Amino acid sequence: MSFVALVSSDPNLTSIFFDDLFTGNTFHPLNLEKSVADVCKGLVALDYAGALVLEPRWQQEALGCAQRSSLAATKHQVCDTLVVTPAGLVADYVLGSALAELLSQHFWDVRGTNVVVTGANAVAAAVATELASMGVEQITVLADNLPQAEKILPKIALTRTRAHSFGELAADSALERADLLVRTESESLIPEAMLGPHLSVIDLSPSPLSLLRQNAMNVGAKTLGLRDLQAQQLALSLGLITGRKLDVSVFLAPLLTLD
């Protein structure tokens, strides 16, 4: 039996792990009020297999507790997965890989496409980097101001990159030309006039069916939401911790019942 810590402030999210679907693992939910460092120390001392760090505000500190980290965790300076090994804690950030799995599962081929990513956070950076590695032709990052947007841009030679702030004419032009929109912050307002069947939408806002997704579906666009990505992320993270390949549907079904 493997013991896995869950670091999250969302009781609905952690509740799905108390299901018989996860036979062989015991999950310990933690709603932290002080420091994740104490949790990290306890993982090894109490013989845990690892931890799922589902709370974004603790992901940077969790990375600092690890003795080693993956390229993704190092690049984005956060982690969502901690694996206990004989050599100590190994940190990983699987969100980008989860996005790739999600797109593949839904047969969305992004090669040669124009993509717009909104937001100025680690999620936006991981999304932009993963999409660039998958062969998109151009990525445009939109944020509240230009310096924030420029920090998110991936550095991959074969992908053209642009950064703009909301309100610029160039931002509207990028949305008009886009094949895929990924919104990582619910505060990012997307004009309804920009939507259409040509523009697929992945909306990572907490709302199960945001106004953006509703408007996109009303005009015939394909859409995916936060729970779709979380299911992939949880399957990959727990797979790393337990050493088993897990079926994403095991996570998606209970996640969708939370909303």
CA–CA separation, 29 and 31 (whole Å): 7
Kindly report, residue by residue over 176-187, the tens digit of the pLDDT.
999 999 999 888
- Order of strands across the sheet that contains 68-69: 25-30, 2-7, 50-53, 81-85, 88-92, 68-69
Q: What confidence score (pLDDT) does residue 23 get?
A: 47
Q: Which residues of the chain have pLDDT under 70?
A: 1, 18-25, 31-34, 259
Three-class SS state of 206: coil
Contact 42, 63 (CB under 8 A): no
CA–CA separation, 84 and 47 (whole Å): 8
**Which of 221, 207, 215, 217 lies closest to 178 in space, CA to CA?**
221
Contact 111, 135 (CB under 8 A): yes
211, amino acid identity: L
Mind listing the domains of the chain with CATH numbers? 2-93+231-256 (3.40.50.10860), 109-221 (3.40.50.720)
CA–CA separation, 239 and 235 (whole Å): 6
List Cβ neighbours of 71 (8 Å cut-off, separation of 6 or more).
none
CA–CA separation, 60 and 69 (whole Å): 12
Element spanning 50, H or E: strand 50-53
- Specify the pairing of strand 81-85 against strand 88-92: antiparallel
Three-class SS state of 180: strand
CA–CA separation, 44 and 50 (whole Å): 8
Contact 171, 142 (CB under 8 A): yes
**Cα radius of gyration rounded to whole Å, the chain:** 18
